[in-house]
Structure 1
Amino acid sequence: MPSAGQHTYRTDLTWTGNLGTGTDTYRSYRRTHEVAAPGLPAISGSADPHFRGDADRWNPEQLLLAALSQCHLLSYLHVCAVGGVVVTAYTDQASGTMVETGDGGGRFTEAVLRPVVQVASADMAEQAIALHERAHHLCFIANSVNFPVRHEPVVTVAGA
């Protein structure tokens, strides 16, 4: 039985890329798959096109970056609500860098989140910038990766 504060997550993955001969050769199969979780729509996944994947499907590297961006958003909205900063809009154009290793593997070397936050009034702008650090500290996903996650936030004021 999980202890208080412990959470377990589950996903279901199904490979859909068998073209009839399985993994007979490196080129004989597609990297397509479906990721699902109970009660949620499926995510169509593949490898990055560089690794023989399909460009019209999400790849694991994009999903990792999306998870970092989502987690920061949710942590940030929380600390703003608790801290009295009224956020009225939020976007992020995140990027991540992955390098391949000589053995065919690879790893992310960094991710950069670029949140553009709109706040309700000018007197909230300074605190809105500062709260990104607190949000980063609280982000479950950022705390789980072994590469730096940097932030380049911009704050604007509604109606300005």
Structure 2
Amino acid sequence: MVAKTHRYEVGVTWTGNSGTGTSGYREYERAHEVSGLGKPVIAGTADPAFRGVAERWNPEELLVASLSQCHMLWFLGLCAQEGVVVTDYVDRPSGTMVETADGGGHFTEVVLRPQVRIAESEHIERTRKIHERAHELCFIANSVNFEVRCEPDVSAADA
């Protein structure tokens, strides 16, 4: 099989110039916009711990969301292929990032906690195995250098 290559292009525009640019660490806002052709703009900022504002998305949150979205999309597709009917899916993932002495940092883990409801209880164990397969296939999880764990909670409508 020939490998397919995909490109993703977005725009990131800093909107936080308060009039004096980056004349001092406290003199500018971390506000920015993430955009893509024909898509709604995402209002971004830094984590509030780094002078951002809580009302905007920060890169760390978006990384955690990307891992959750990728897993969910693989999972739903695999369930459809396997004949498992999913009727509800909610995830409340969390990520842990550690700052280093030099001011940098890195994620040490992300934990996905999908709560999944399926139509038939006879598929509960199979659904757990599909979660494992979705995790193995997730493009984003395969691209990061930290642990991504999945702790699914599966229930059935007919139980």
Number of residue equivalences:
158
Deviation at 1:138, TM superposition (A): 0.8
Distance 1:31 1:133 in 2: 38
CA contact (8 A) 2:111 2:149 kept: yes
Displaced runs of 4 or more, over 3 A: none
* TM-score, normalised with respect to structure 1: 0.96
Number of the residue aligned with 2:60: 61
Number of the residue aligned with 1:37: 36
Note the residue ranges of structure 2 that are not aligned, 5 or more in a row.
none
Number of the residue aligned with 1:85: 84
Deviation at 1:158, TM superposition (A): 1.3
Note the residue ranges of structure 1 that are not aligned, 5 or more in a row.
none
Percent of pairs with identical residues: 61
Higher mean alpha-carbon deviation, 79-88 vs 132-141, is at: 79-88
Against the structure 1 CA distance between its residues 135 and 99, is the aligned structure 2 distance closer, same or farther, given a 3 Å change threshold? same
Number of the residue aligned with 2:46: 47
Query: Which letter does structure 2 place at the counterpart of 1:35?
Result: V
Q: SS at the partner of 1:90?
A: strand
Number of the residue aligned with 2:150: 151
Distance 2:23 2:35 in 1: 27
* TM-score, normalised with respect to structure 2: 0.97
CA contact (8 A) 2:118 2:157 kept: yes
Distance 2:132 2:126 in 1: 11
Query: Which letter does structure 1 place at the counterpart of 2:31?
Result: T
Distance 2:102 2:24 in 1: 19
Number of the residue aligned with 1:125: 124
Distance 2:3 2:99 in 1: 39
Deviation at 1:48, TM superposition (A): 0.5
Distance 1:101 1:20 in 2: 32
Q: Deviations over 1:58-81 (max 9, x none)?
A: 000000000000000000011111
